[in-house]
């Protein structure tokens, strides 16, 4: 059985306790490998290594750090297929989407490599003669990176690459459902020339490792993607130490389909956004706000399209939808559907755990369309994180926007329409960090800010230049070359 150690201070090591856990293929139940199970002491060692490595790393010229990331991007590119296959085995998403996940990481890594030559500050005129004023960006220190399993290469890369290019060091705790992918990513960073201690990897199911990172006084920055429940805990644990915390949490994303929309295009957008990655994306479309004039027609087309989807092992090129990540997920998803039924919704297709035939060995949920859903139902308010979407009928754009905005999340939204004015009104009024026009709710690009409003997060954004803002501190520098005392605000030049 393959074994996956932790990576601390540039060495691959067993957990100090010697304990291990396993990683399992959700399509087959097969055990893929054994993984070192970390605890508090491993975190302590990782933080010390990251702290010790910080000084040399922050002083390395940023373009040189960029060269290391450039090599990492090349390695990710060369291993794209291998990584994608492993990803399908470890968390179930179909191979085509696993390739997309790795591609997002490649794109982000090249983008951040380039930022090494663009960590722009500001120079501004000073108030006094013979004086210069400027603001420069500085790294902050050790960044705690805590990531989910649904984008096992992309999400860690969105966090680690900007943290590194800005000159920070990293303690990385990946989701315990996808430790092997995390291992592969860190191997690539090592091979690309990231010096010992600059990136450290500690695994730990059960919260001990995560909590030790959150509560460690030498980790001033935390970046976390995961559920809202966990995000609140992250925030509360980090708060007494006044850490800088980035939270990327849930979504309850909607696609509005207006009466003048291209329905076939909308169907493709809904199916891709709602059922891609088996709905396990924070950007997944889990509500369809359908104009009443086209609702019945849209539902008929959606049902027909969804029934043609093939469920199966993501490695099979004929598979459209893979399993969900684990048994608990399967039960949680089904619980939402059952509750929707009790509240009066109708299952137009799907609505069941696949518990017979060869797929019964894995964690498969039949792609599900719910109709007769009302905006206040739980299934229309809470994040499901599974292959389920709910159709809600609306009578106007205003009503659709109101319902879209009537949830606690604000990550992504979309509108299908041919009306230019309506599209612009929606772009202005939809309260989400991402808005798509004639396109589904998923598929953000790495050079634009990514993140959500309201309880999807805490105001920070990742990707693009926004990430550079998160991973740096501003330092304002004044240089007086007049040779005399110039008292600010007092010796006002005439
Ligand atoms: C997530 O599900 O946590 O736009 C991120 C998208 C992807 C990112 C999803 N680029 O759907």
Whose CA is closest to atom 11 on ligand 1?
442
- Does residue 89 have a pLDDT over 90? yes
Cα distances (Å, whole numbers) of residue 143 to 164, 423, 426: 9, 40, 37
Check residue 206 and give its pLDDT. Answer: 81
- The Cα 44–Cα 47 span in angstroms is 5
Average pLDDT of span 69-75: 98
Give the chain's length. Answer: 494
Beta bridge partners of 462: 450
Relative to the CA of 280, which ligand 1 atom is closest?
2
Q: Strand, helix or coil at 197? A: coil
* Beta strand pairing call for 199-201 and 285-291: unpaired
Strand partners, 410: 453
Q: Determine contact, residues 371/299, Cβ cutoff 8 Å.
A: yes
d(CA 140, CA 471): 7
Name 480's bridge partners. Answer: 131
Q: Which of 248, 383, 393, 462 is catalytic?
A: 248
Mean pLDDT of 1-25: 95
Query: pLDDT tens digits for 259-314?
Result: 999 999 999 999 999 999 999 999 999 999 999 999 999 999 999 999 999 999 99
- pLDDT confidence of 101, banded at 50, 70, 90? very high
pLDDT at site 453: 97
Q: What is the mean pLDDT of the chain?
A: 96
What confidence category does residue 205 fall into, taking pLDDT thresholds of 50, 70 and 90? Answer: confident
Token readout for 141 is 């220190």
- pLDDT interval class at 438 (50, 70, 90): very high
Cβ–ligand 1 distance for 472 under 6 Å, the answer: no
Percent of the chain at pLDDT > 90 equals 96
Q: What is d(CA 83, CA 77) in angstroms, rounded to the nearest whole number?
A: 10
* 342 C-alpha to ligand 1 centroid (Å): 31
Distance 149 CA to ligand 1 centre (A): 12
pLDDT digits (tens, 9 = 90+) for 316-375: 999 999 999 889 999 999 999 999 999 999 999 999 999 999 999 899 999 999 999 999
* Pocket perturbation via mutation, ligand 1, pick of 251, 444, 447 by most ligand atoms within 8 A of CB: 444
Q: Pick from 98, 255, 282 the residue to mutate for probing ligand 1's pocket: most ligand atoms within 8 Å of its CB.
A: 282
Q: Is 157 in the pocket of ligand 1 (CB under 6 A)?
A: no
| DSSP symbol at 93 | -
What confidence score (pLDDT) does residue 155 get?
98
Helix (H) or strand (E) holding 59: helix 40-59
- For the Cβ of 404 lying below 6 angstroms from any atom of ligand 1, the answer is no
Instruction: Based on the residue annotation, tell me whether 127 is a catalytic residue of this protein.
Output: no
CA distance 250 to 233: 14
End-to-end CA distance of the chain: 79
Q: What's the pLDDT tens digit per position in 439-473?
A: 999 999 999 999 999 999 999 999 999 999 999 99
Listed residue (312, 369, 314, 317) closest to 340, CA to CA: 369
Is the shortest distance between the CB of 164 and ligand 1 below 6 Å?
no
391 HSE (CA, 13 A, CB side): 29
Distance 385 CA to ligand 1 centre (A): 12
Tokens 């550079």, located at residue: 468
Q: Verify whether ligand 1 is closer than 6 Å to residue 281 (CB atom).
A: yes
Positive or negative, the Cα torsion across 177, 179, 184, 186? positive
CA neighbor of 319 nearest in space, from 24, 92, 25: 92
The number of beta carbons lying within 10 Å of the beta carbon of residue 297 is: 12
User: What is the token pair recorded at 191?
Assistant: 């091979």
Pocket flag, ligand 1, residue 283 (CB < 6 Å): yes
Ligand 1 atom closest to the CA of 443, numbered from 1: 4
Three-class SS state of 103: helix
Nearest alpha-carbon partner for 351 in 361, 360, 341: 341
Asked if pLDDT for residue 181 goes beyond 90, the answer is yes
CA neighbours within 13 Å on the CB side: how many for 206?
Answer: 8
> Secondary structure of 225-274 in the HEC alphabet?
ECCHHHHHHHHHHHHHHCCEEEEECCCCEEEEECCCCCHHHHHHHHHHHH
Segment 128-140 mean pLDDT:
97
Eight-state DSSP code of residue 480: E
What's the confidence (pLDDT) of residue 29?
A: 87
Q: How far apart are CA 60 and CA 197, in angstroms?
A: 14
* Mean pLDDT of the 73-101 span: 96
pLDDT attached to residue 488: 92
DSSP category for residue 17? T
Question: pLDDT confidence of 127, banded at 50, 70, 90?
Answer: very high
401 lines ligand 1 (CB under 6 A): no
CB distance 449 to ligand 1 below 6 Å: no
Give residue 492's pLDDT band: very low, low, confident or very high (50, 70, 90): confident
């Amino acid at each position: 059985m393959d074994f996956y150690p932790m990576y601390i201070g540039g060495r691959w090591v067993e957990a100090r306790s010697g304990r291990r856990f396993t990683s399992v293929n959700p399509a087959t139940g097969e055990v893929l490998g054994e993984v070192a199970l970390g605890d508090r002491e491993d975190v302590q060692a990782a933080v010390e290594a990251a702290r010790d490595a910080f000084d040399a790393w922050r002083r390395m010229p940023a373009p040189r750090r960029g060269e290391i990331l450039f090599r990492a991007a090349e390695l990710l590119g060369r291993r794209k297929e291998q990584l994608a296959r492993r990803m399908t085995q470890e968390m179930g998403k179909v191979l085509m989407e696993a390739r997309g996940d790795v591609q997002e990481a490649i794109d982000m890594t090249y983008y951040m490599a380039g930022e090494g030559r663009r960590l722009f500050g500001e120079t501004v005129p000073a108030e006094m003669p013979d004086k210069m004023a400027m603001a420069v960006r500085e790294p902050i220190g050790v960044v705690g990176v805590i990531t989910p399993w649904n984008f096992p290469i992309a999400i860690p890369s969105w966090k680690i690459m900007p943290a590194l290019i800005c000159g920070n060091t990293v303690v990385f705790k990946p989701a315990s459902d996808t430790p092997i992918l995390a291992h592969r990513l860190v191997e690539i960073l090592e091979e690309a020339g990231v010096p010992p201690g600059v990136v450290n990897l500690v695994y730990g199911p059960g919260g001990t490792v995560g909590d030790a990172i959150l509560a460690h006084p030498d980790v001033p920055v935390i970046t976390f993607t995961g559920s809202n429940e966990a995000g609140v805990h992250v925030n509360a644990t980090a708060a007494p130490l006044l850490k800088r915390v980035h939270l990327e949490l849930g979504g309850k994303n909607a696609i509005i389909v207006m009466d003048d929309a291209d329905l076939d295009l909308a169907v493709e957008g809904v199916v891709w956004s709602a059922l891609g990655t088996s709905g396990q994306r924070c950007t997944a479309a889990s509500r369809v706000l359908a104009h009443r004039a086209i609702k019945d027609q849209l539902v008929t087309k959606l049902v027909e399209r969804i029934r043609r989807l093939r469920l199966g092992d993501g490695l099979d090129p004929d598979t459209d939808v893979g399993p969900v990540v684990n048994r608990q997920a399967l039960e949680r998803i089904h619980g939402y559907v059952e509750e929707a039924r009790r509240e009066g919704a109708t299952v137009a297709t799907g609505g069941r755990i696949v518990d017979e035939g060869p797929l019964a060995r894995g964690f498969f949920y039949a792609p599900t369309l719910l109709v007769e859903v009302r905006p206040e139902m739980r299934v229309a308010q809470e994040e499901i994180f599974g292959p389920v979407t709910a159709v809600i009928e609306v009578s106007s754009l205003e009503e659709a926007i109101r319902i879209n905005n009537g949830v606690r999340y604000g990550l992504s939204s979309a509108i299908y329409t041919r009306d230019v004015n309506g599209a612009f009104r929606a772009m202005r009024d939809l309260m989400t960090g991402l808005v798509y026009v004639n396109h589904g709710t998923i598929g953000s690009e790495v050079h634009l800010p990514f993140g959500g409003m309201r309880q999807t997060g805490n105001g920070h954004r990742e990707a693009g230049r926004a990430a550079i803002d998160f991973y740096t501190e501003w330092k304002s520098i004044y240089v007086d070359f007049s040779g005399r005392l110039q008292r600010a605000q007092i010796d006002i030049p005439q």
